[in-house]
Amino acid sequence: MLTLTLDNLRSKALGLLRQTSPGARVLLYHRVTDLTCDPQLLSVSPKRFDEQMQLIARSYQPISLRYLWACVRRGDVPHRAVVVTFDDGYEDNLTIAKPILERHGIPATVFVASGSVGGDRAFYWDKLEDIFLSDRMLPEELNITIGQEQYRWSFAGETDGYHNAGWSALSPTTTRRQAAYVSLCDKLRPLPYDRQQPLINELCQWASASPSARPTHRAMTAEQLRQLVDGGLIEVGAHTIDHPILAKLTDSEQRRQIRQCKDDLERIIDQPVQSFSYPYGTRSSYTLDTVAAVRDAGFDCACSNFPGKGRRGTDPFQLPRVLVRDWAGDRLLQEVGRAAA
């Protein structure tokens, strides 16, 4: 017996459509610039980024993270929706990425580590690359104590780094300088900032390098952050103060990193900061306590760094993202399609 009214039928059909909706893909970028050496493969060239944005505008429906959050909560994510995000807050997000995003009318969210805003110091991963993978000459031997452990590397016969430019950390190491870079990244990553930075100072002294960021690797200043949000196409989100692995911190230190970053950024841009991204973003780099701390700090949503799609039922505080490399357009479409599988 047919008991459904027309309205019931329409509502059931809409519900089915929503359940089978392919969901939104959130893209994760870090930098848009040409780099000679990019061992973490985090930079997309301006030409490729332009090509990628053109394809996104043509083949998908670009929406802001704020709008996605509202859609996920309603359980009604638009078909083929794509959100563009950036982590860390590099200067090229303003100087290179923003004009390209504007040209294609694509909104974006830039997650900023507030401690680096206007600061002089390089991110530790960039300084390790500058020391070990650049063409600078290094002393033949490095002895360094990290925690209770002593480490020694010999670079005899390999004191220049000319052959490291095209190498990435996703490939096997072929030089001792590459091995030292990978090992020191692994050893410094879990350390809190106040233990990490003295080691960077020690390494800089050993290599006769400056701890300052190179002009090509600068974070945005406060004034540049205001320029970034000017026009309303780009939003700023929080990414902690100094980019720790939050899972390694006490609950109170996690809450300080999360809350103070929000407060500092809101003071700088004079706008609410409603979204957050977990540094490193893998499932092991934060905990459920971290998620609770982000929610308690008053954020609307948070982004992770593992693949998937945002759809009905997705935790708005653990939105999956697709980490984008320096891919040609067809590869981007392939990877975005794969994230939806």
User: For binding to Zn ion (CB under 5 A), which residues are involved?
Assistant: 87-88, 279
CB of 155 to Zn ion, least distance (A): 29
- Output the DSSP codes for 276-301: EE-SS-STTSS-HHHHHHHHHTT-SE
CB of 60 to Zn ion, least distance (A): 24
The angle that helices 46-59 and 329-339 make with each other, rounded to 10 degrees, is 50
Nearer to Zn ion, 51 or 87 (CB): 87
Nearer to Zn ion, 261 or 269 (CB): 261
The Cα 255–Cα 264 span in angstroms is 14
Nearer to Zn ion, 87 or 92 (CB): 87
Nearer to Zn ion, 161 or 279 (CB): 279
The Cα 272–Cα 265 span in angstroms is 9
CB of 326 to Zn ion, least distance (A): 18
Residue 89's H or E segment, with its range, is none
CB of 192 to Zn ion, least distance (A): 16
Nearer to Zn ion, 23 or 115 (CB): 115
Residues in the chain: 341
CB of 52 to Zn ion, least distance (A): 20
Nearer to Zn ion, 69 or 124 (CB): 124
Instruction: List the Cα angle 174/179/183 in 5-degree steps.
Output: 155
CB of 279 to Zn ion, least distance (A): 5
The Cα 29–Cα 138 span in angstroms is 32
Assess contact for 41 and 325: CB atoms under 8 A: yes
Sign, CA dihedral 213-214-217-218, equals positive
The Cα 188–Cα 115 span in angstroms is 18
- β-strand partners of 29: 86
Helix ranges (H only) for the chain are 6-19, 46-59, 65-74, 92, 98-104, 124-132, 176-188, 193-207, 222-229, 251-269, 288-296, 329-339
CB of 221 to Zn ion, least distance (A): 18
Nearer to Zn ion, 51 or 126 (CB): 126
Nearest residue by C-beta to Zn ion? 87
